[in-house]
Amino acid sequence: MKAFGREGVRYLEMQVSPWGATDAEGRPFFAEDYSLAYQARLAQPDALATGVTARLQIVVIRFLPDAEDKIRDAYAFFDAHRDLFVGINLDGREDNGKGQAARFTDVFRAMQRKYPRIPLAIHAGESVEADSNIRDTLLLGADRIGHGVNILSEPATYLLLRNNRYLVEINLVSNRLLDYVTDPMQRPFPVLLRTGVPVGLNTDDRGMWDSTFTDEYLTAVENYNLGRAETVSLARNSLVHAFLDEPTKAPLLANYEKALAVYEARYLTADWRAASTGITPIVSNYGNKAFRLTAPANLGELR
């Protein structure tokens, strides 16, 4: 939260699992205590001072043999903790028989018959091969699609997403480092952005890549010549499609627009270099390697 807050991020949805955790002494941490522990931590002064609103998604690893049971557990746990938990996510490799979305059709439909609506943000289309996983994920009831690398290989699903309410979470750094997209000109991101598919940028796994949101935006701007309106729309889309109740979401959107106006008045001027004097940038190891960026403080050295 501190790291994201320094970059101006206002809202964060973290993927967590309430099962199998232990405390500092290695004792089992029961699921019912899990939500209370997060609520207590998020209420502490240093967390509040970040300016970041945090909520949780329950993540289920899709290729495990007991994934269906974990989905049932996730729905039951979520329904009892709707104040902090805002969504359910299927994560992990989908490019094998155990991880494909169609495997979970029956269990998701059974849960949707049993529980009031629960938002779904599900990884789909993280593959170099054409497949039906994005379509099948939408059939599960997904509101947001994670990655969508092969989305243009399925024209009917691509057309369904255009000017619709589904957000595609784009992960430029992750897709490059995992070799899903080695040529930036083959990424679907700019096509989706410019043909009416709602998209937002995502770090995917900030800790593993030692990367930042800045790296995602710089990758997008440098490779695809993003205009100002396009760049701004990415953050706005993320807030619009956040799994938040409207009374919580509306102030975040208003705050974003206000901060954007302050930024534009200060830096989108002829003397922007002078206005930037005194700013100490934070550069990740990824930013240093990929863009040759340097700064007095490196992200990996911050505590």
According to the model, what pLDDT value does residue 282 have?
81
According to the model, what pLDDT value does residue 297 have?
55
Contacts of 233 (CB under 8 A, 6+ apart): 193
Secondary structure of residue 140 in the 3-state scheme: coil
Half-sphere exposure of residue 130: CA atoms within 13 angstroms, side-chain side? 7
> What is the per-residue pLDDT across 212-237, written as a single tens digit (0 to 9) for each?
988 999 999 999 999 999 999 999 99
Going by the DSSP 8-state scheme, the letter that residue 8 receives in this structure is: T
> What is the per-residue pLDDT across 63-96, written as a single tens digit (0 to 9) for each?
999 999 999 999 999 999 999 999 999 998 887 7
Give dist(CA 5, CA 117) in Å, integer: 30
According to the model, what pLDDT value does residue 302 have?
46
Give dist(CA 181, CA 148) in Å, integer: 11
For residue 146 the two structure tokens come to 């994670």
Going by the DSSP 8-state scheme, the letter that residue 120 receives in this structure is: B
Q: Which of 150, 152, 121, 153 is nearest to 137 (CA)?
A: 121
Residues of the chain with pLDDT under 70: 296-303
* Amino acid identity at 76: A
According to the model, what pLDDT value does residue 298 have?
54
**pTM for the full model?**
0.92
According to the model, what pLDDT value does residue 229 have?
94
According to the model, what pLDDT value does residue 301 have?
52
Contacts of 248 (CB under 8 A, 6+ apart): 53
The hierarchical CATH code for the domain 2-246 is 3.20.20.140
Contacts of 18 (CB under 8 A, 6+ apart): 31, 34, 35, 58, 77
Exposure letters 222-239 (e unless 16+ CB within 10 A, then b): eebebeeebebbbbbbbb
According to the model, what pLDDT value does residue 72 have?
98
Tell me the backbone φ, ψ of residue 168, rounded to 5 degrees: -100, 120
Contacts of 144 (CB under 8 A, 6+ apart): 119, 120, 121, 122, 166, 167, 168, 169, 241
Size of the chain in residues: 303
Phi/psi zone of residue 205: left (φ > 0), alpha (ψ -120 to 50 degrees), beta? beta
According to the model, what pLDDT value does residue 303 have?
39
According to the model, what pLDDT value does residue 30 have?
85
Please report, for the chain, the start and end positions of each structural domain, with discontinuous segments joined by +. Answer: 2-246
